[in-house]
Each structure stands twice: as structure tokens, then as C-alpha cells.
């Protein structure tokens, strides 16, 4: 935890071991690998903590070396890790580049400890004391019990007056668009803040490919969230925040590893939201954090700290 007494972020989900092949080409010919951790919610927790805001991550880990590593890593980043040890294995991600910049991510998580998350894993009073509860569509896809845990946490947050943040985070390898759409739409409708990529927003809204980012942000906001942010990669972001439209260009960055950039963006935005900063400041920090993240290999290694953001403080946005 940081030294601040401000209400912090609470999030929950699955964090996995992350194997990354060192060479470009077919995975069978790779001879060097790195081993780290990866998971949308823990990435956000680490990102928020690095920006000086308290963060708590809740999840299940296996009683194995990978689970031990994840717990140690989260605690070393200042994240409060509320861990349930499970009899199943800790999940695994494998990343490799088949050619050029084409990145492939395989998941080994069916039946994992993280997929066995259940509502009782969230301690009483934890969500209720949060400054923001952050959840993602990834966890709703893992299992019925994990989905119930997400919606149960959201219900508790709303009853306590705690703002709910949702990152749609659709994963095609976990479920079909037909299965995901209704669940994600129901989740977004219960959020105060929602983040989505262009295609994710189209999935939630049932919109066609001709919809602009501004129209998608407006559509998401119409479902209920007062803050709807479209993450648009190299094109920056577009948002509808408390009825006002915002647009911010992306920062130039050498893309080394795009995985985790969206989580960095969300962490930057939520850290500033929890710190009480304006919509423009939230978006500037979010864009800067995303730029830092893509420039470093790994899911969370490139998440910036406050001093690293100072050099990018001159970024401007457009508000209408």
C-alpha cells in the first residue's frame, strides 16, 4: 500500500503465469523464454499502485510455484493481494510472434484456480470500502461461478454507493460473440465508468462497422455509464464524460509489445479518477500510460510511475 489515505481501487479476476518466446518464428523452434505474470485486473492494480493510489486485487491461485510468484510480485508492487489458494493449477499464457509484429497469445486456463473464483472469496466490507470497484469482461467468461462473482461484487458496490468501472475486454478465445454480447451489455448497464475498444463497443451495442468512435461512446453512455471511453489504439481515444465529448490523440511510441496497453490506459484513467482529477487529466494520463506500456515487453513491466509521466504533461485534448 502507498502512504496515502485516499479510498483505493478494488479489483478481482485471474492472474496467470506468462511465458514469452524470445525469438520470432514458429513456437516449436524457440529456444529462449521469459517467465512473468499477466492478467487484466492485476495489470490495472499494479498500474494504479505505481501511480500512487492504493490498490487491492482479489483472486484464486494454485498452490504452486507460479501462484507463489504472482502473490510475491503483486505484494512487491504495493498491491494488497487477497488470495485464496486453490487445489487446481495456476493458469498460463503463452505469447509468441509467428512473423514480424503478428503476436499470438494462447491461454491454458480451463479449470484453473482463477476460473474457480466464487462470490464468497470477496471479504465482507472490502468492496464497500473501495473508491472504485473495477471488473472486466474476461472474468465473466471464465466460468459460471466467476461470472456470478463479478455481478455479485457489482451489486455490492452499487448498494454501497461505490462507483463501478467495467473494461469490456472481450476475448474471442474464451467465448463467442453470441454468448458474450448479452452478458457484457448487462454488465456495462450497471457501470459508472466503461472502457471498450471499437469492436468491443460494437459487440455490446450490436452496432455495425460504420459507427464512429464518438457514436459508440454515446451509445455506451446511453446504457447507463456517466463515463464511456473508447480505446482506439494508435488513433488515441474518444469519450463521453458527464455529457461532454472528448477526443485525445495517441502519443508516438515504438510498439514493442501491445499486450497490456489497454490495461495501462485504464490504470492511468482510474488513478486520476480516484485522485479527484478532471476528465482531461484522466485521459492525458491514460494515453501516456498506454504509450509507455507498449514500449516495453511484458503485460505489466512498462506501467509508468508518476515521475515518468512528467515528460508528457504537455499533451492536449479537444473538448466540445
**Strand pairing class (16-24; 92-99):** parallel
| 78 conformational bin, left if phi > 0, alpha if psi -120 to 50, beta if neither | left
173-182 — which CB contacts under 8 Å span 24+ positions? 173/105, 173/106, 173/107, 174/107, 174/138, 174/141, 174/142, 175/141, 177/203, 180/137, 180/141, 181/206
Residues 6+ apart with CB under 8 A from 107: 16, 91, 92, 93, 171, 173, 174
CA distances from 112 to 93, 115, 162, 241, 271 (A): 12, 5, 30, 37, 30
User: Cell digits for 173?
Assistant: 478465445
* pLDDT, tens only, 151-164: 999 999 999 999 99
The mean of the pLDDT values for the chain is: 89
Give the residue-averaged pLDDT of 202-211: 88
Which single residue is written with the C-alpha cell 465473466? 140
> Hey, what's the torsion of the CAs at 220, 288, 163, 241, to 10 degrees?
-40
Task: Tell me which residues are annotated as active site.
Answer: 263
- Window from 19-33, 68-82, 300-314 with minimum mean pLDDT: 300-314
Domains of the chain: 9-319 (3.40.1190.20)
Give the residue-averaged pLDDT of 109-137: 97
Which single residue is written with the C-alpha cell 508518476? 306
Q: What distance lies between CA 136 and its chain's CA centroid?
A: 7
**Strand pairing class (33-38; 227-231):** unpaired
Which single residue is written with the C-alpha cell 503463452? 94
Give the residue-averaged pLDDT of 214-218: 96
Which single residue is written with the C-alpha cell 481501487? 9
Name the pLDDT band for 299 (thresholds 50, 70, 90). Answer: low
Amino acid at each position: 500500500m502507498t502512504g496515502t489515505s485516499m479510498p483505493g481501487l478494488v479489483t478481482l479476476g485471474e492472474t496467470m503465469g506468462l511465458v514469452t518466446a524470445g525469438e520470432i518464428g514458429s513456437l516449436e523452434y524457440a529456444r529462449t523464454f521469459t517467465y512473468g505474470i499477466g492478467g487484466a485486473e492485476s495489470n490495472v492494480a499494479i498500474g494504479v499502485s505505481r501511480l500512487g493510489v492504493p490498490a487491492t486485487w482479489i483472486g484464486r491461485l494454485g498452490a504452486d510455484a507460479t501462484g507463489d510468484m504472482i502473490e510475491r510480485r503483486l505484494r512487491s508492487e504495493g498491491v494488497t493481494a487477497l488470495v485464496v489458494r486453490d487445489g487446481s493449477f495456476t493458469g498460463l499464457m503463452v505469447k509468441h510472434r509467428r512473423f514480424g509484429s503478428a503476436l499470438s497469445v494462447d491461454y491454458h486456463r480451463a479449470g484453473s484456480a482463477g476460473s474457480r473464483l466464487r462470490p464468497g472469496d470477496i471479504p465482507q466490507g472490502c468492496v464497500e470500502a473501495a473508491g472504485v470497484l473495477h471488473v472486466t469482461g474476461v472474468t465473466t467468461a471464465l466460468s459460471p461461478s466467476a461470472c456470478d462473482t463479478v455481478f455479485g461484487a457489482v451489486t455490492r458496490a452499487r448498494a454501497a454507493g461505490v462507483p463501478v468501472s467495467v473494461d469490456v475486454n472481450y476475448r474471442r478465445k474464451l467465448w463467442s460473440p453470441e454468448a458474450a454480447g448479452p452478458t457484457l451489455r448487462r454488465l456495462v448497464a450497471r457501470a459508472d465508468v466503461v472502457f471498450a475498444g471499437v469492436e468491443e463497443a460494437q459487440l455490446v451495442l450490436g452496432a455495425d462497422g460504420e459507427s464512429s468512435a464518438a457514436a459508440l461512446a454515446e451509445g455506451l453512455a446511453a446504457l447507463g455509464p456517466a463515463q464511456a471511453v473508447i480505446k482506439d489504439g494508435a488513433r488515441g481515444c474518444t469519450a463521453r464524460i458527464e455529457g461532454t465529448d472528448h477526443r485525445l490523440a495517441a502519443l508516438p511510441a515504438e510498439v514493442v509489445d501491445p499486450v497490456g496497453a489497454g490495461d495501462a490506459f485504464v490504470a492511468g484513467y482510474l488513478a486520476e479518477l480516484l485522485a479527484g482529477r478532471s476528465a482531461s487529466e484522466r485521459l492525458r494520463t491514460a494515453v501516456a500510460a498506454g504509450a509507455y506500456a507498449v514500449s516495453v515487453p511484458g503485460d505489466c513491466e512498462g506501467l509508468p510511475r508518476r515521475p515518468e509521466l512528467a515528460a508528457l504533461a504537455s499533451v492536449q485534448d479537444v473538448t466540445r
